[in-house]
Amino acid sequence: MTTPDPNAFAVRRAEVRNGVHLSFVHEGVGGFPILLVHGYPESKRIWWRNIGPLAAAGFEVIAPDLRGFGDSDLAPDGFYDVSAYSIDLHTLVADVLGHPSCVVVGGDLGGVVLYDLALRYPGFAERCCFFNTIVPLRPELFEAAGIPPEPPRETRLTADYFLRQGTDADGLLAELDTPARRRAWVAAMYGHRLWAAPGHFTPDEVDFLTEPFADAARLHASWGAYETAFGRRPLETMPALFEPCAVPTLALYGGDDHVVDASFPARCRVAFSECIGPFVVPYCGHFVQWEAAATLNAALRWFNADLLAR
């Protein structure tokens, strides 16, 4: 395996709102627009194995860094929540790039942002691809479908990161007091914390993926969604997450993920009224876009073949 090239794609910047500029890769201009939404502990670099193949398939690929992540600006307004991310991305795609609709792909935090985009802006998401994340929706709808509650995060051995980032960000940052320590904290998510299936990330690849988190302010910003989950950071506005989503959605699940609960496929069938799948991707964990890049690229090509034919 070769070391990933951080300069493999040109990076653009555009102001979206409130003085925030987003950085994004923009390839295949003129194709059908597809928005790739990263999560945590990720940046736009997590899509490095998807951008080229999807552009070659006929998509106009838009792969941004969320506010506070990667090369995008820190937010002067201090909002790092699902709604803020969603509004930024809609502004980028619809207002800056001029696309009234697109395909949206996301996992982890990006999957939750995807859900908000689909509900907040009817018609914007023509199709979705959703994988390995929290499935939004009111708990009583899952209960009515016979799906038991997920075990409390506080009881999970893999949840210490969630609690520290969400409730003690300042204390954790004080411990992660060098770039090397900050990158090592993020690197653990690709290794011994059991998010990924074994063998999918070489040391060079982990270096490539963790480099954007070396800066303390950016690492702290990347924990914004965790802090808002615990009420430690204000929301820009309430997220649109609590109704079923009618957008046709391809749901994938990397079953070797020890962070996302095994009830994920069942929850997807309740949350998405037009759910295709969910399909379990073998030998794959949390990072489907990296661990099973060829599978995801092919699935997106065929799932959206009619859109590409436009």
pTM: 0.97
Quote the domain boundaries for residue 60.
11-151+238-308
pLDDT for res 1:
57
The residue that leads in pLDDT, 60 or 1, is: 60
In one-letter notation, the amino acid at residue 34 is: I
- pLDDT tens for each residue of 116-128: 999 999 999 999 9
Dihedral (Cα; 111, 82, 155, 230), 10-degree rounding: 180
Mean of the per-residue pLDDT values of the chain: 95
Block residue for tokens 């990158």: 183
The answer to whether residue 156 is domain-embedded is no
The answer to whether residue 264 is domain-embedded is yes
pLDDT tier at 310, thresholds 50, 70, 90? confident
pLDDT for res 150:
78
Q: Dig out the tokens for 261 from the structure.
A: 């609960």
pLDDT tier at 153, thresholds 50, 70, 90? low
The answer to whether residue 187 is domain-embedded is no
Query: Does 3 score more than 90 pLDDT?
Result: no
Q: Dig out the tokens for 296 from the structure.
A: 């995801």
pLDDT tier at 97, thresholds 50, 70, 90? very high
What are the respective helix, strand and coil percentages of the chain, to the nearest 5? 40, 20, 40
- pLDDT tens for each residue of 128-150: 999 999 999 999 999 999 999 87
Number of domains in the chain: 1
The answer to whether residue 145 is domain-embedded is yes
Query: Does 289 score more than 80 pLDDT?
Result: yes
The answer to whether residue 72 is domain-embedded is yes
CATH code, 96: 3.40.50.1820
The answer to whether residue 4 is domain-embedded is no
The answer to whether residue 179 is domain-embedded is no
What is the 3 state secondary structure string of 176-245? Answer: CCCHHHHHHHHHHHHCCCCCCCCCCCCHHHHHHHHHHHCCHHHHHHHCHHHHHHCCCCCCCCCCCCCCCE
The answer to whether residue 84 is domain-embedded is yes
